Structure 1
Amino acid sequence: MTDQFATVSLDQLSQQDTGSILILTVNNRHARRIVAELSAGLSETRQVMEVPDIVPLSGWLARAADQLSFVPDSDLASHTVDAFGSQLLWQRVIADEESDHVLLDVAQAARLAAQADQLLDEWQISVPPEVETAEFQRFRTWRDRYRQTLAAMDLEDGNLAYEKIHAAIRRGWLRMPFSTLVLAGFNELSPRLSSLLDAMREQDIEVLVLDTTAPAAGMVRRLVAPDPDNEWRMAARWASDKLSQDPGGRYAIVAARLEADVVLAHRSLRNALGRDVHGRPHAYNVAVARPLSEWPLVRAALAWLRIVAQFVQKKYCEPRDLGQALLAGACAGDLHEASGRAAMDALWRKQAKVKVSLAEFGDLFDSHAPLLGAAWKDCVAAWLEQTATADIDTWTRRFRSWLQALGFPGQSSLDSHAYQVVEAFDGLLDRFGRQAPVVGSTGLSAAVAMLTRLARETPFQPQRDPSARLDVLGFLESEGGRWDGIWVLGLTDNVLPAAPKPNPFIPLAALRKANAPRATPERELHWASSMYDALLACAPEVCLSHAQHEGESELRPSPCIAGLPVTEMSMDTELQASCVLECMLDEQGPALQAGRATRGGIAVIDTQARNPLWAFVKYRLGASQLPDYADVADQNARGVFLHKAIELVWRLVPDQQSLRERNTDGRLDALLQQAVQQAADECLEDYGVVLRALETERAMKILRDWLALELTRTEFTIRDVEQSYQWSHGPLELNLRLDRIDQLNDGRLAVIDYKAGDSNIDPRSDWMRQRPVGLQLPFYASVLAGEDHAVAALVMVGLHAKAVNVKGLVDGDYGLEGLSAVNEWPAFADHSWDTLMAEWRRTIESLAQEYVAGVARNESLRPDDIKYCDVLPFLRLNEEYPHVD
């Protein structure tokens, strides 16, 4: 323990010969804090001082390894792999050792194995045979194989390097260039570190502990919030009040689960702190590191590299990956051509493109993003001759040159955070190159995937804004800090103390005997008590809070604060008068002007019937949800394929008589094969061989079943297949396309609509409504049909491999089972065919007139009416409006 060493203050250190002092900190954060405290100690009488060597333990070990490399017979390996390279090796070893077994998560096993390896050495844990577990025995096999692999490759990881440094100091091979070692931030010493310090003392090095003790808070309050959201609002309001009262003070909010609550933290703080006189949000620091891959500039760089890898490997790229790169930007013309890049992405979505060739991608740049197009050509020229398998060093140079050709990180000026991200990404590429001894030669796709993983596993946090007077931190980040006041939230009994998390590869009995971290409830309780005491020493005023509920779970306070009395929160700020909420119901848009084209066909009327506001937003304002990227197995592609195959059949077969003749002489199946294959060539070009064969086989079965029903009908002639029609109502002009129109034996017409993929069709509930929907067939029958060509049947056909069903209305008997007479439907019991057509005509014209007049009421008859609404945010369904007389 650190209490075995004498203590020293920073003031005392500043009076000594700092050239012979090394301050060893537990991490970089403590090192920066000590430098800040030394700087704060300067005064007018002492404006300059020599700063001692301040370095975290990990940095000092790397420095000692460099020094040891000059010692003869030190037995150092050629390369030291970092944590990422070590993980790669652990995964490789475990995957090889467990090739005959199933591991659900090799990566997680590798992480736990690396932790166990480090724990055994750091805490000098011995595992007697009588406590060994099956998990430990498997881990021991992995560990032996892992170290054999390191030795064979002349490598060592950080844990082995630490062991060699430790041994070298104990043997006297490595002499320290300082006479005083000061420990900072170490609450406890592991057996290995204790042994290392003892070896240094044997070299007459004085080991001291930096005295960071501070008086406990004079004011400690416990507050209770109903839920975590309100707890954050209370803390943010407290911080706002404190900063208003003391603009020069320094305050902190310490959160137990800061990483999980970071979004809530930002929202609460921005609402509470407001903006300064320049309209900018008040500055505050949130000490949360995000994976480097989540920062926009790095995400863009990785997206561009992924599409290069796809073009090299597959000769095409998926629109989803292209869209990620284009929308991320960070390239030539990143600001000026943002809309053009977005238009390219939207085009592929609307066209349901499954893949884009390199030539197609390049051609689109001319009309949408010429600046990026020129940079893309330079990038293509750079990578065309640089795609062969290579080592990681080579890939690092190639990646840099390709991104430079693309104009990364863009032409816009970088703010402080963006500049730091670019620097961090450059450092990431350097670190990636240092994985060469572990990885060896690899292909482009594997290299990009590895770089992506490294970015995902590398945390990054921008430097603290020095002008900010409010810090938001986690428990560990707050330890040793000093502020004028802090608020600690989230102090529930499952946080302080936390549940133990012993390493599953080391027997619990061995962990308990060594008193290893996170192993036992007693260990967690001791850590919680130490952390609680450290929090109370961070400021003269400490607020401690917890929530009562989270969702349906009841929360209890931490035992550390359960004995404190609960105080009510009172703010010194003047309460603002409550605002009166004003509501305005706006459901009338401007009338449609003549000459304004309306796209959407019959869907315009159908949407007006479902929800007028939906129709207004989508077709008048032109707003709609962007379609998702197409998928090879998309149901819509299957429907288009079936429609095309049936269209081709009826273009070759003009009437039922021809159908019967082909069926009788055995030529029908060949015709179906021809139609299906031609449709597949046009609609299934992105399908693989097996999937295409399955789809064509399915289509053949559906067509045979459907044509078998067609043969049982009364005589008919094909009049139109996939024919377009135009209809107008005042300034509204609509185009619609009908699947098929038959002329029946009495000269009347049957309108047929195919519904691919649905065998349980039934239009009754849609057509019997006061505002009917699913209007394509009623629309044609009641509005477009002239007196010379009266419609006698509205036929909806459900095409599915399980069954082919027919539903609809008919005025007569034409041999199609499943059609109903008008009076068989309850809502139309008192209607004749002609009166129903006339009523539908009036309803459709009324809906059209509503649209023309700009009616935009936000109402729907049924919840299912907006099930597939693509402008849902405009409907604002979560809002309730007061009744207006």
Structure 2
Amino acid sequence: MLDSLPAISFDQLSGFDAQDTLVLTVNNRHARRVLAELSASLGGDRRVIAVPDIIPLSAWLRRLSDRLSFLPDSGMAGHAIDAFGARLLWQRVIERAESDRALLDTAQAAMLAMEADRLMDDWRIEVGPDHETSDYLRFEEWRARYREALAELDLEDANQAHEAVCAALRAGRLHSGARHIVLSGFTELSPRLAAMLAAVQERGGSLWALSRPPVAPHAAHRVAAPDPDAEWRLAAHWAAGELRKNPDGRYAIVAGRLEADAALAHRCLRAALGADAEGRHIPYNVAVARPLSGWPLARAALAWLRALALAGRGRPCRPEDLGGALLAGGCAGHAEEAAGRAVIDAYWRHQAVLAVRPKDFTALLGRHAPRLLEAWQACMAELDGDGAPAGLDVWSDRFRRYLRCLGFPGRGMLDSHSFQVLEALDAALERMAAQSAVAGKLGFGAAVGLLRRLVDETPFQPQRDPSARLDVLGFLESEGGRWDAVWILGLTDEVLPAVPRPNPFVPLPAQRRANAPRATPERELQWARGMFRALLECAPQVWLSHACQEGERELRPSPFIAELDAEPFSPPGAAAGSCMLESLRDDLGPALQPGRPTRGGIGVIDTQARNPLWAFARYRLGARRLSAYADVGDQNARGLFLHRAMELVWRMLPDQAALRGLVGEGRLDGLLHGVLEQAADDCLSDYGPALRRLESARALAVLASWLEVECARTPFSVRDVEQDYLWRHGPLELNLRLDRIDELADGRLAVIDYKTGGGSLDPRSDWMRDRPIGLQLPFYASVLAQESAGAGVGALVLARLHAKGAEVKGLADAECGLEGLVSPRAWPAFAELGWEDLMARWRRTIHQLAREYISGHAANQSLRPDDIEYCDILPFLRLNEDDKRVE
């Protein structure tokens, strides 16, 4: 039908009666283009004309549906639902139908079922008994239940409204609204749409196809890029060069996978386009919408509503729920109290807070964000009486009221994008209110969850910058556009033609018979031919590119460009003479000043040995990754619990003799139960009863296993438990805490460090290095023991406390009775060293590391890559930019 329509030019269109003419386009973007080109087509003798209606097809269908609803006996339902409401209802129907069967993703099934429902009606697909599949039969069951639910709730979705409009037009009960209907941008018509337009013709209407003079490319160039990243860089440099040559020209980059490549596109374009004389980025438009929830103001509104829903119950909240709102801002004191809100969030993270009580939250707000406290308390007062379930229309009004009480969106001038986000968010609240008939009555938390889902699924893109001369679009968005030159990238045989994706709920033979979209390779090839032809008509100069490799996967060019010879493309300025790149190596910071407090303890020396720049940034600059929110199942909590239990045991028992006495009298279990109860109170207060019992039972087994090892040792007494020490070296002062120090039978000391993790316990590779790491035990043995009064150290013991069994590793020069300790001579690097020689060697190394730190030495060097495996400021080190720095 589309090919048989008479063509009409812009000049002829401007001569039609605007009141009786309707231009239908494929989408809003195309409608704006038609309007702009209609205006540009006016000659000098015609400055002003009456413009006909230029609207997308979807808007025309909604207009006809509204008009039909006012007709007597229209049969229309009392309420219309949009795609979001329809998907909610589909999901509810499927969940009920599949309650006794395992269906992993009902949301995905609902989306595919809704598409199948529209596809079958749009393309008049009929499924014969021979082609029915089990998936199709289940879909038919869902479809019947879905339509029953619509009728029961007196609802109508867009697909049913479209069908009703089609029937009314064919029956002559509804008028199209215009005598002349002009189609623009359509490459095909579905059977249902063709039937509607045929009914318009039968009632005396005329149909036309808007023709635009094709732009035959003067030149089409093919470029083969090494990989997708290089392809984007070439396209960006091309655009920058074209804009420099002709700043008033209009150019476009068209990408087959623009949504996936949006971040890469922005990065390449900003680097290539640069800035103008005033330092502002050269403007460009990227036609990619991202979810509304990804924009700061929308994210802030959702975060505050979730925080209110949780806090309104009067029970403790998780720090991450309140912290998300505090960091998002958009509230009273948005800018003035931003630092204070961040301090609250950081406090919860560093203190490993698992739950925040309402009174604690208000106390923190009072200290750090008094303006927000006042707004928060006013909002909590608004919540009184609003706890009962209500319809979404009620919750929509309540949400607006709560946000106003909180001072949303914060004081200050809103830029254009922020203002548009607020408008889109308000529209989303209106859409949410319209789903009341589907969702029924919901509680506060459920209503917030549904709003979040709606905002997650609502695409948003700010309006186009009218000053931009460069457009970056996808294939569909570019259709019908006109530019001075176009670069089309991503033209591989996987993109054009694309791989078919038939709907899984409609049998493939039925889709093939109806020639439904995306159903077969032939159908995709047909669509790709039309799209490629349209792309070539976008500009007189067209560059066609593809990548040759993606990772280890070889890519092939699209068959539409494979016969063109690949041409080399050099970015503008590439032929210019090369210049020497100057570099400055700056790895020395200011020296440590006396009297300045030093952050950290033994970690300063250990980190200096691993990577001096890491030590400087962490302890001198205070740079560190923000801690994650505490988790009740955090392994560190288990380690703290076991350390605390061992501390309590050896504070009660002075020596091995006392331990053996308890074992002989059968009283050790009683002591361990009491110790674990106290340790659990100190470290597991946020655990539930069941988890606390499990952790205590595990710890009982671990402690009993380790104490068996302690009983079998040679005699010892406990000298210190969890004792703090201070070490000074020039202006450097470090605090050190040791798990335990035992006095052996010969008067020397054994330093013990507990390990509760499951990693390697053997310190051999760490301690034998020229710059040793894991330094806590060597540090004490070689430095602190020498500088303090008393006996020397005779053993360095790493003890693993684990459910899989006790384990000991380390070095010893005295008899301890612990299997796993060896003499230093057993290690190759220490084979020629006596015990005192080893202590002196370590002492020199530690003093050298301390002097490095004091002097400000901050070289970005590591001996082994795994030295910085747990570095929390890796982006600061920027090692990915120069692999030579890890030597």
Name the TM-score class by shorter chain: over 0.9
Alignment of 1:517-536 (within 5 A): 517-536=517-536
Distance 1:746 1:242, change over 3 A: closer
CA distance in 2, matches of 1:701, 1:572: 71
What do residues 767-810 of structure 1 show as CA deviations (whole Å, max 9, x unaligned)? 23322222222222222223433333322211001111222233
Cα distance in 2 for partners of 1:42, 1:192 equals 36
Aligned residue for 1:128? 128
For residue 802 of structure 2, what is the aligned residue in structure 1? 800
Q: Which residues in structure 2 correspond to 1:782-797 (within 5 Å)?
A: 782-785=782-785, 786-797=788-799
* CA separation of 1:820 and 1:362: change in aligned 2, threshold 3 A: same
1:641 and 1:882 mapped to 2: Cα distance?
42
Partner of 2:244: 244
Give 1:881 shift: 9.0
Does residue 1:305 correspond to 2:305, yes or no? Answer: yes
Alignment match, 2:607:
607
Which residue of 1 is the match for residue 357 of structure 2?
357
Q: Distance in 2 between matches of 1:544 and 1:537?
A: 13
For the residues of structure 1 that align with 2:547 and 2:26, how far apart are their CA atoms?
A: 32
* CA apart distance, 1:44: 5.3
CA separation of 1:535/1:860 partners in 2, compared to 1, >3 Å: closer, same or farther?
A: closer
CA contact (8 A) 1:227 1:550 kept: yes
Question: 1:592, 1:852 within 8 Å by CA — same for their partners in 2?
Answer: yes
Paired with 2:824 and 2:238, the residues of 1 have a C-alpha distance of 71
Secondary structure of 2:260 counterpart: helix
C-alpha spacing 1:237/1:814, structure 2 compared with 1 (3 Å): closer
SS in 2 for 1:543: strand
Aligned-partner Cα distance in 2 for 1:743–1:569: 76
1:867 matched residue in structure 2: 869
5 Å matches for 1:369-388?
A: 369-388=369-388
Per the alignment, residue 404 of structure 2 pairs with 404
SS in 2 for 1:646: helix
Which residues in structure 2 correspond to 1:429-828 (within 5 Å)?
A: 429-569=429-569, 575-758=575-758, 761-785=761-785, 786-828=788-830
Q: Is 2:253–2:488's contact at 8 Å kept on the other side of the alignment?
A: yes
Q: Is the 8 A contact 2:183 2:210 kept in 1?
A: yes
The answer (yes or no) to whether the contact 1:231–1:546 under 8 Å persists in 2 is yes
Secondary structure of 1:159's match?
A: helix
Contact kept, 8 Å, 1:759 with 1:805, in 2: the verdict is: no
What residue number does 1:838 align with?
A: 840
**Separation in 1 of the partners of 2:240 and 2:771?**
54
Q: 1:540 and 1:597 mapped to 2: Cα distance?
A: 69
What do residues 372-418 of structure 1 show as CA deviations (whole Å, max 9, x unaligned)? 23222222222243232111111111211122222222223222112
Residue equivalent to 1:220: 220
SS of 1:565's equivalent in the other structure is coil
CA drift of 1:836 comes to 2.9
Amino acid at match of 1:338: A
AA aligned to 1:360 is: D
Q: Name the SS for the 1:446 alignment partner.
A: helix
Give the letter for the 1:198 counterpart. A
| Aligned amino acid, residue 850 of structure 2 | A
Coordinate RMSD, CA, aligned: 2.1
- Distance change in 2, residues 1:568/1:4 (3 Å): same
Which stretch shows the higher mean deviation, 391-400 or 211-220?
211-220
The within-5 A match list for 1:49-88 is 49-88=49-88
Q: Give SS of 1:788's match.
A: coil
Greater CA deviation, 496-505 or 808-817?
808-817
8 Å contact kept, 2:312–2:380: no
- Report the CA distance between 1:601 and its aligned residue: 1.2
Offset at residue 150 of structure 1 (A):
0.9
- TM-score by length of structure 1 reads 0.96
- Per the alignment, do residues 137 and 323 of structure 1 end up closer, same or farther by CA in structure 2, a change over 3 Å counting? same
In the alignment, the residues of structure 2 paired with residue 474 and residue 845 of structure 1 have an alpha-carbon distance, to the nearest angstrom, of 62
Offset, 1:285: 0.9
2-side partners of 1:810 and 1:563: how far apart? Answer: 76
CA distance in 2, matches of 1:399, 1:153: 25
Distance 1:863 1:670 in 2: 47
Rounded to whole Å, the distance in 2 between the matches of 1:776 and 1:235 is 55
Deviations 1:322-349 (A, max 9, x none): 3322222222222232222222222222
Contact 2:319 2:348 in 1 (8 A): yes
1:483-516 deviation digits (Å, cap 9, x = unpaired): 1221211111121111111111111111111111
Residues in 1 aligned to 2:818 and 2:170: alpha-carbon distance in whole angstroms: 97
**Structure 1 gap ranges (5+):** none
Q: Give distance in 1, aligned partners of 2:536 and 2:768.
A: 72
In 1, the alpha carbon distance for the partners of 2:660 and 2:314 equals 47
Query: What is the alpha-carbon distance in structure 2 between the residues aligned to residue 787 and residue 284 of structure 1?
Result: 72
User: Shift of the alpha carbon at 1:475?
Assistant: 0.8
Matches of 1:246 and 1:862, distance apart in 2: 52
What residue number does 2:189 align with? 189
Q: Deviations over 1:127-165 (max 9, x none)?
A: 111122222111111111111111111111111111111
Structure 2, gaps ≥5 residues long: none
Counterpart-to-counterpart distance in 2, 1:826 and 1:539? 73
Q: Which moved more, 1:671-680 or 1:561-570?
A: 561-570
Shift of 1:463: 1.1
18-27 or 788-797, which deviates more: 788-797
Cα distance change on mapping 1:123 and 1:662 into 2, 3 Å: same
Q: What is the aligned residue count?
A: 883
Corresponding residue of 1:105: 105
SS of alignment partner, residue 183 of structure 1: strand
Cα 1:814–1:487 change in 2 (3 A) is closer
Deviation at 1:236, TM superposition (A): 1.9
CA distance in 2, matches of 1:711, 1:316: 45
Residues 172-231 of structure 1: per-residue CA shift (max 9 Å, x gap): 222344222222222211111111112222222222222234242232222222222222
The separation in 1 between residues aligned to 2:766 and 2:566, in whole angstroms, is 60
- Asked if 1 retains the 8 angstrom alpha-carbon contact of 2:599 and 2:620, the reply is no
Per the TM alignment, residue 43 of structure 1 is displaced from its structure 2 partner at its CA by 5.4
Query: Could you list the per-position Cα deviations for residues 228-265 of structure 1 after superposition, in whole angstroms to 9, with x for gaps in the alignment?
Result: 22222222222222222222221111111111111221
Call closer, same or farther: CA 1:574–1:705 in 2, change over 3 Å.
Answer: closer
What is the rounded CA distance, in whole Å, between the counterparts of 1:576 and 1:328 in structure 2? Answer: 47
Aligned to 2:18: 18
Kept in 2, the 8 Å contact 1:26–1:186? The answer is: yes
Which residue number in structure 2 is paired with residue 204 of structure 1? 204
Secondary structure in structure 1 of the residue aligned to 2:686 = coil
CA distance in 2, matches of 1:20, 1:879: 64
Output the CA distance in 2 between the equivalents of 1:143 and 1:748: 83
Residues in 1 aligned to 2:275 and 2:852: alpha-carbon distance in whole angstroms: 46
Cα contact 1:241–1:573 (8 A) shared by 2? no
1:640 CA displacement: 0.4
Does the Cα contact within 8 Å between 1:80 and 1:157 map onto a contact in 2? Answer: yes
Contact conserved, 2:612 with 2:858, CA < 8 A, in 1?
yes
Aligned-pair CA distance for 1:718? 2.5
The verdict on how the C-alpha distance between 1:43 and 1:617 changes in structure 2, with shifts beyond 3 A counting, is same
Of 288-297 and 617-626, deviating more is 617-626
Within 1, Cα distance between the matches of 2:858 and 2:271?
Answer: 34
**In 2: Cα distance, 1:864 partner to 1:483 partner:** 53
Counterparts of 1:651 and 1:38, CA distance in 2: 90
After TM superposition, the structure 1 stretch with the greater mean CA deviation from structure 2, 639-648 or 173-182, is: 173-182
CA distance in 2, matches of 1:597, 1:147: 72
Match of 1:141 in 2: 141
TM-score, structure 2 length as denominator? Answer: 0.96
Deviations 1:558-616 (A, max 9, x none): 22222233333366768444332122222333221110111211111222222222222
Does the aligned pair in 2 maintain the 1:759–1:800 contact within 8 Å? no
Give the whole-Å Cα distance in 2 for the aligned partners of 1:579 and 1:714: 72
